[in-house]
Amino acid sequence: MLATVIHAARDIRVEEVPDPVLSTGRDAIVRVVAACVCGSDLWPYRGVTPTETPHRVGHEFVGVVESVGPEVSAVRPGDFVIAPFYVCDGTCLNCRNGVSTSCLHGGWWGSDAGEDGFADGGQGEYVRVPLADGTLAVVPGPVVEEEIPGLLTLSDVMGTGHHAAVSAGVQPGDAVAVVGDGAVGLCAIIAAKRLGATTIIAMSRHPQRQALAREFGATHVVEERGDEGVEAVRGLTRGIGADRVLECVGTKESMDQALRSARPGGMVGYVGVPNGGPEFPVRPMFNRNVGVNGGVAPVRGYIEELLPDVRSGAIRPGLVFDLALPLAEAAEAYAAMDERRATKVLLRP
């Protein structure tokens, strides 16, 4: 089969790899219908994270189950499924505590999931899913073509934006500021609105993303950063700052912006993958009673909650995809995102 392999910085190839084979009884083979490139895929692409040996990539995909091992009971051949961006069993203590990203038996796509063996990368024609019952979420009934981008966001970005809002404790009537206008930040706006926020401030300088932010429910856009950004947020929140701030970038600057944009007693929900060393300034947080909650989003646990709203069209996170390419053009997909010609690229095998 064909799959995407990163060989080095800016060297993405779609090449022939071994077809996946069922081996443990707990696994499934999924034919990938759609996959995508994540903002976090750009760290190895740019060489920020070194690539020492060529390896498979891609961790967001939806597809149709081709075959399952004899111990699998939750998914059947022919099911349309959503895979979260990681493998999990759904049964261990951490999974049952709602932190399936810390599954005691799980792992990551494109690498080994412990004793359950290799999990293919999502940017390919087929994927062996090591712990199929825990990992895959079935989408009931027939799935129509137009639904696919929205369903694909439940692999990562929509669930991650939701995690930011849940972690910050967004409640009806809240004023929420969102730091970051990538796919996750835009989905965080959807999530804040869905949980009842009535003032939603998108911090964005990008005209097209500002427009999508407003379509998703942002009531205000703040282009300023740093001190001016903090002042602008206060100006929209009765002078005190936002009740909740959703940090969706992961840099020192974005975390600083988020912490300072929260009101005294406010909460920051953070989901941006930390790069560039954000650190928490404990004394200013202490002085202002600003809390922080969040981390890598356990999106598997959010799929069932969010799926009905995606299918009904009540929320439309699939609009974050602004480019679709065949799998064979995966290298162009990375380049388009790296050069900010696209917010998020969908790949079709």
How far apart are alpha carbons 125 and 348 in whole angstroms?
9
Q: Decide if residue 103 touches Zn ion (CB under 5 A).
A: yes
How far apart are alpha carbons 201 and 300 in whole angstroms?
27
Q: How far is the CB of 138 from Zn ion (least distance, A)?
A: 19
Contact segment (CB under 5 A) with Zn ion among 23-31, 79-87, 89-97, 204-212 equals: 89-97
How far apart are alpha carbons 293 and 283 in whole angstroms?
17
Q: How far is the CB of 93 from Zn ion (least distance, A)?
A: 8
Under 8 Å CB-to-CB from 178, ≥6 apart: which residues? 164, 185, 188, 189, 192, 200, 201, 202, 203, 213, 218, 245, 246, 248
Q: What are the helix (H) ranges across 30-92?
A: 42-46
Contact segment (CB under 5 A) with Zn ion among 36-44, 101-109, 267-275, 332-340 equals: 101-109
Q: How far is the CB of 134 from Zn ion (least distance, A)?
A: 6
Q: Decide if residue 3 touches Zn ion (CB under 5 A).
A: no
Q: Decide if residue 95 touches Zn ion (CB under 5 A).
A: yes
Among 60, 89, 116, 156, binds Zn ion (CB under 5 A): 89
How far apart are alpha carbons 71 and 192 in whole angstroms?
39
176 dihedral zone (left: phi>0; alpha: psi -120 to 50; beta): beta
- Strand partners for 13: 5
Indicate the residue among 93 and 211 with the shorter CB distance to Zn ion: 93
Q: How far is the CB of 98 from Zn ion (least distance, A)?
A: 11
Q: Decide if residue 136 touches Zn ion (CB under 5 A).
A: no
Say if residues 94 and 103 touch (Cβ distance below 8 Å).
Answer: yes
Indicate the residue among 97 and 198 with the shorter CB distance to Zn ion: 97
Indicate the residue among 32 and 103 with the shorter CB distance to Zn ion: 103
Indicate the residue among 107 and 266 with the shorter CB distance to Zn ion: 107
Indicate the residue among 113 and 320 with the shorter CB distance to Zn ion: 113
Contact segment (CB under 5 A) with Zn ion among 10-18, 84-92, 185-193, 322-330 equals: 84-92
Q: Decide if residue 79 touches Zn ion (CB under 5 A).
A: no
Residues in the chain: 349
Say if residues 317 and 153 touch (Cβ distance below 8 Å).
Answer: yes
How far apart are alpha carbons 262 and 277 in whole angstroms?
20
How far apart are alpha carbons 121 and 291 in whole angstroms?
36
Indicate the residue among 112 and 215 with the shorter CB distance to Zn ion: 112
Q: Decide if residue 116 touches Zn ion (CB under 5 A).
A: no
Q: How far is the CB of 131 from Zn ion (least distance, A)?
A: 8
Among 1, 2, 64, 92, binds Zn ion (CB under 5 A): 92
Q: How far is the CB of 95 from Zn ion (least distance, A)?
A: 3
- Hey, what amino acid is at 39? G
Q: How far is the CB of 301 from Zn ion (least distance, A)?
A: 11
Q: How far is the CB of 224 from Zn ion (least distance, A)?
A: 43
Indicate the residue among 93 and 328 with the shorter CB distance to Zn ion: 93
How far apart are alpha carbons 115 and 26 in whole angstroms?
11
Angle between helix 157-168 and 183-194 (nearest 10) = 50
Indicate the residue among 41 and 89 with the shorter CB distance to Zn ion: 89
Its sign, for the CA torsion 82, 87, 92, 95, is: negative
How far apart are alpha carbons 16 and 34 in whole angstroms?
18
Indicate the residue among 132 and 315 with the shorter CB distance to Zn ion: 132
Binding footprint of Zn ion on the chain (CB under 5 A): 88-89, 92, 95, 103
